[in-house]
Amino acid sequence: MTVQQVLLLLLLWMWLPHPCHTEMLFRRTPDLRPKSFGGRALGNDGKAIHRQKRGWMWNQFFLLEEYTGSDYQYVGKLHSDQDKGDGSLKYILSGDGAGTLFIIDEKTGDIHATRRIDREEKAFYTLRAQAINRRTLRPVEPESEFVIKIHDINDNEPTFPEEIYTASVPEMSVVGIIRTALPNMNRENREQYQVVIQAKDMGGQMGGLSGTTTVNITLTDVNDNPPRFPQSTIHLRIPESSPVGTAIGSVKATDADTGKNAEVEYRIIDGDGTDMFDIVTQKDTQEGIITVRKPLDYETRRLYTLKVEAENTHVDPRFYYLGPFKDTTIVKISVEDVDEPPVFSRSSYLFEVHEDIELGTIIGTVMARDPDSASSPIRFSLDRHTDLDRIFNIHSGNGSIYTSKPLDREISQWHNLSVIAAEINNPKDTTRVPVYVRILDVNDNAPQFAVFYDTFVCENARAGQLIQTISAVDKDDPLGGQKFFFSLAAVNPNFTVQDNEDNTARILTRRNGFSRHEISTYLLPVVISDNDYPIQSSTGTLTIRVCACDSRGNMQSCSAEALLLPAGLSTGALVAILLCIIILLVIVVLFAALKRQRKKEPLILSKEDIRDNIVSYNDEGGGEEDTQAFDIGTLRNPAAIEDKKLRRDIIPETLFVPRRTPSAPDNTDVRDFINQRLKEHDTDPSAPPYDSLATYAYEGNDSIAESLSSLESGTTEGDQNYDYLREWGPRFNKLAEMYGGGESDKDTS
Using the predicted structure, report yes or no on whether residue 397 has a pLDDT greater than 80. yes
Q: Tell me: do 310 and 196 sit in the same domain.
A: no
Q: CB–CB of 351/417 below 8 Å?
A: no
Using the predicted structure, report yes or no on whether residue 342 has a pLDDT greater than 80. yes
Using the predicted structure, report yes or no on whether residue 701 has a pLDDT greater than 70. no
Is the link from the previous residue into 534 a cis peptide, with omega within 30 of 0? yes
CA quadruple 475, 476, 480, 486: dihedral sign: negative
Mean pLDDT value of segment 617-621: 53
pLDDT digits (tens, 9 = 90+) for 412-464: 999 999 999 999 888 888 999 999 999 999 988 999 999 999 999 999 999 99
Cα–Cα distance, 96 to 102 (Å, whole number): 8
Is the link from the previous residue into 226 a cis peptide, with omega within 30 of 0? no
Q: Tell me: do 123 and 242 sit in the same domain.
A: no
Cα–Cα distance, 367 to 400 (Å, whole number): 9
13 in helix, strand or coil?
helix
Cα–Cα distance, 410 to 475 (Å, whole number): 6
Distances 173 to 224, 256, 322, 701 between C-alpha atoms, Å: 12, 18, 15, 143
| Count of CB atoms situated within 10 Å of the CB of 327 | 19
Q: Tell me: do 94 and 168 sit in the same domain.
A: no
Distances 501 to 483, 504, 536, 541 between C-alpha atoms, Å: 8, 7, 17, 20
Cα–Cα distance, 124 to 63 (Å, whole number): 9
Enclosing H/E stretch for 186: none
From 373, 252, 237, select the one nearest 304 (Cα to Cα). Answer: 237
Enclosing H/E stretch for 745: helix 733-748
Domain closes at, from 287, 308, 336: 336
From 193-202, 230-239, 303-312, 472-481, the region with the lowest mean pLDDT: 193-202
pLDDT digits (tens, 9 = 90+) for 655-696: 444 444 454 445 456 778 888 877 777 777 665 554 545 555
Cα–Cα distance, 283 to 357 (Å, whole number): 64
Q: What is the pLDDT of residue 317?
A: 80
Cα–Cα distance, 6 to 590 (Å, whole number): 141
Higher pLDDT, 490 or 160: 490
Q: Tell me: do 246 and 329 sit in the same domain.
A: yes
Q: CB–CB of 171/222 below 8 Å?
A: yes
Cα–Cα distance, 580 to 578 (Å, whole number): 5
Q: Tell me: do 19 and 147 sit in the same domain.
A: yes
From 723, 719, 718, select the one nearest 704 (Cα to Cα). Answer: 723
Mean pLDDT value of segment 482-492: 92
192 domain residue, yes or no:
yes
Q: CB–CB of 299/371 below 8 Å?
A: yes
Q: CB–CB of 210/200 below 8 Å?
A: yes
Percent of the chain with pLDDT over 70: 71
Distances 77 to 30, 66, 104 between C-alpha atoms, Å: 21, 21, 9
| Count of CB atoms situated within 10 Å of the CB of 315 | 15
pLDDT digits (tens, 9 = 90+) for 188-215: 667 677 778 877 776 667 767 777 888 8
Q: Tell me: do 321 and 278 sit in the same domain.
A: yes
Q: What is the pLDDT of residue 543?
A: 93
Q: What is the pLDDT of residue 120?
A: 85
* Confidence tier at 329 by pLDDT (50, 70, 90): very high
Using the predicted structure, report yes or no on whether residue 341 has a pLDDT greater than 70. yes
Q: CB–CB of 277/250 below 8 Å?
A: no
Cα–Cα distance, 445 to 612 (Å, whole number): 73
Percent of the chain with pLDDT over 90: 33
Q: What is the pLDDT of residue 695?
A: 52
Q: Which range, 23-37, 215-229, 326-340, 678-692, has the best average confidence (pLDDT)?
A: 326-340
Q: What is the pLDDT of residue 54?
A: 46
Q: What is the pLDDT of residue 638?
A: 52
The three state secondary structure string of 573-605 is: HHHHHHHHHHHHHHHHHHHHHHHHHHCCCCCCC
Cα–Cα distance, 13 to 621 (Å, whole number): 152
φ/ψ region of 704 (left if φ > 0, alpha if ψ in -120 to 50, else beta) reads alpha
Q: Tell me: do 8 and 135 sit in the same domain.
A: yes
733 domain residue, yes or no:
no
From 37-51, 252-266, 401-415, the region with the lowest mean pLDDT: 37-51
Q: What is the pLDDT of residue 60?
A: 81
Q: Tell me the β-bridge partners of 306.
A: 271, 331
Strand ranges in 477-570 using DSSP code E only, listed in sequence order: 484-488, 495-499, 504-509, 521-530, 537-549, 555-557
Using the predicted structure, report yes or no on whether residue 516 has a pLDDT greater than 90. no
Cα–Cα distance, 246 to 429 (Å, whole number): 21
How many folded domains does the chain comprise? 6
Distances 435 to 269, 355, 361, 404 between C-alpha atoms, Å: 43, 17, 16, 16
Q: What is the pLDDT of residue 153?
A: 79
Distances 469 to 31, 492, 550 between C-alpha atoms, Å: 133, 17, 21
Q: What is the pLDDT of residue 163?
A: 74
From 15-29, 349-363, 473-487, the region with the lowest mean pLDDT: 15-29
Higher pLDDT, 707 or 369: 369
Q: Tell me: do 113 and 76 sit in the same domain.
A: yes
Q: What is the pLDDT of residue 171?
A: 63
Q: What is the pLDDT of residue 246?
A: 94
Using the predicted structure, report yes or no on whether residue 259 has a pLDDT greater than 60. yes
Q: Which range, 4-18, 80-94, 250-264, 414-428, has the best average confidence (pLDDT)?
A: 414-428
Q: Tell me: do 186 and 276 sit in the same domain.
A: no
Cα–Cα distance, 329 to 264 (Å, whole number): 14
pLDDT digits (tens, 9 = 90+) for 133-170: 888 888 888 888 889 888 887 777 788 788 787 777 67
Strand ranges in 154-224 using DSSP code E only, listed in sequence order: 164-170, 192-200, 210-220
Q: What is the pLDDT of residue 195?
A: 79
Q: CB–CB of 113/72 below 8 Å?
A: yes
Higher pLDDT, 496 or 646: 496
747 domain residue, yes or no:
no
170 domain residue, yes or no:
yes
pLDDT digits (tens, 9 = 90+) for 711-729: 444 444 445 677 777 777 7
Mean pLDDT of the chain: 77
**Angle at the Cα of 651 (from 648 to 653), degrees rounded to 5?**
135
Mean pLDDT value of segment 65-73: 83
Q: What is the pLDDT of residue 392?
A: 96
Using the predicted structure, report yes or no on whether residue 273 has a pLDDT greater than 80. yes
Cα–Cα distance, 337 to 554 (Å, whole number): 88
Domain that includes residue 455, residue range? 448-562
Q: What is the pTM of this model?
A: 0.39
- Relative to beta strand 349-354, strand 430-440 is parallel
Using the predicted structure, report yes or no on whether residue 362 has a pLDDT greater than 50. yes
Q: What is the pLDDT of residue 293?
A: 94
From 102-106, 294-298, 493-497, 697-701, the region with the lowest mean pLDDT: 697-701
730 domain residue, yes or no:
no
Domain closes at, from 392, 419, 440: 440
pLDDT digits (tens, 9 = 90+) for 3-21: 556 555 655 555 454 443 3
505 domain residue, yes or no:
yes
Mean pLDDT value of segment 173-191: 61
* Confidence tier at 652 by pLDDT (50, 70, 90): very low
Q: What is the pLDDT of residue 463?
A: 92
Q: What is the pLDDT of residue 230?
A: 93
Question: What dihedral angle (degrees, nearest 10) is formed by the CA atoms of 17, 19, 20, 23?
Answer: 90
Q: What is the pLDDT of residue 360?
A: 94
Q: Tell me: do 7 and 147 sit in the same domain.
A: yes
Q: What is the pLDDT of residue 271?
A: 93
455 in helix, strand or coil?
strand
Domain closes at, from 375, 405, 440: 440
Q: What is the pLDDT of residue 573?
A: 81
734 domain residue, yes or no:
no
Cα–Cα distance, 30 to 54 (Å, whole number): 7
Q: Tell me: do 33 and 141 sit in the same domain.
A: yes
From 319-323, 342-346, 740-744, the region with the lowest mean pLDDT: 740-744
Distances 76 to 20, 108, 145, 603 between C-alpha atoms, Å: 7, 11, 14, 157
* Confidence tier at 55 by pLDDT (50, 70, 90): very low
Higher pLDDT, 647 or 107: 107
279 domain residue, yes or no:
yes
Q: For the chain, percent helix, then strand, then coil, each to nearest 5?
A: 15, 35, 50
> Which CATH number do you get for residue 82?
2.60.40.60
Cα–Cα distance, 117 to 151 (Å, whole number): 10
Using the predicted structure, report yes or no on whether residue 91 has a pLDDT greater than 70. yes
Cα–Cα distance, 122 to 116 (Å, whole number): 12
pLDDT digits (tens, 9 = 90+) for 546-597: 999 988 888 888 875 544 444 455 677 888 899 999 999 999 999 888 888 7
470 in helix, strand or coil?
strand
Q: Tell me: do 196 and 331 sit in the same domain.
A: no
Q: C-alpha 16: how far from its chain's center?
A: 92
